[in-house]
Amino acid sequence: MPDLLARILLLVPLLLSLTVHEWAHAISAYRLGDDTAEREGRMTLNPIVHIDPIGTLLLPLLGVPFGWAKPVPVNPARFRRSVSMRLGMVLTSAAGPGSNVLLSLLGAVVFGLLLRFAPSIVMPGTAGFALCKDVVLVNIALAVFNVLPIPPLDGGRIVDGFVPPRWEDAWHRYCSVSPFVLAAVLILPGFFGIGVLSWPIGMLWQAAQQVTIAVATL
């Protein structure tokens, strides 16, 4: 029961983070001239419209350490003429993990403010402590994971916008096997007990802790 309760509590920051992530994609595309997401009701912070039953609810409740929301539709052909489709896709793709970086920073600042002005709320072992920690960690993990240069992740779309013509054939061959690369990243660390993402996530978590301490001791 405690494990299940912890997983349910984790859904709160996860759903918030995934919702903001998808909204950031939608609003970025809209500002570049593509209103596809807006017309389909996806340019919203209402989490219900972004929920994927498996990626957002089932897997996290089963204890799987990752998740996803329904991808926001983007049509680069609708970008303004002043923005190339490749640049537009880079900017739109980067908006998702960028929003998670900002959320993790905001979470670290709020954590520090609570430590300073209402420490009883975020004492270790309390729900407030777990929630603040999860908000920061979930967003760091989402940002790091999504910038991996593996299509269809955001990082893959970002790289696609910068691939020079002479490397396009090799890139397309890589894209054809990218599902297997993504599966290896997700599955192999579990077998060997090490995570390829643990180092960057750990470094960013330490940086977030320093922000929290700085705010709490101002």
Catalytic residues: 22
Cβ proximity of 30 and 38 under 8 Å: yes
Cα 16 from Cα 149, distance rounded (Å): 24
Tokens of 90: 């880079």
Alpha carbon separation from 191 to 146, 194, 197 (Å, rounded): 22, 8, 14
Cβ proximity of 142 and 21 under 8 Å: yes
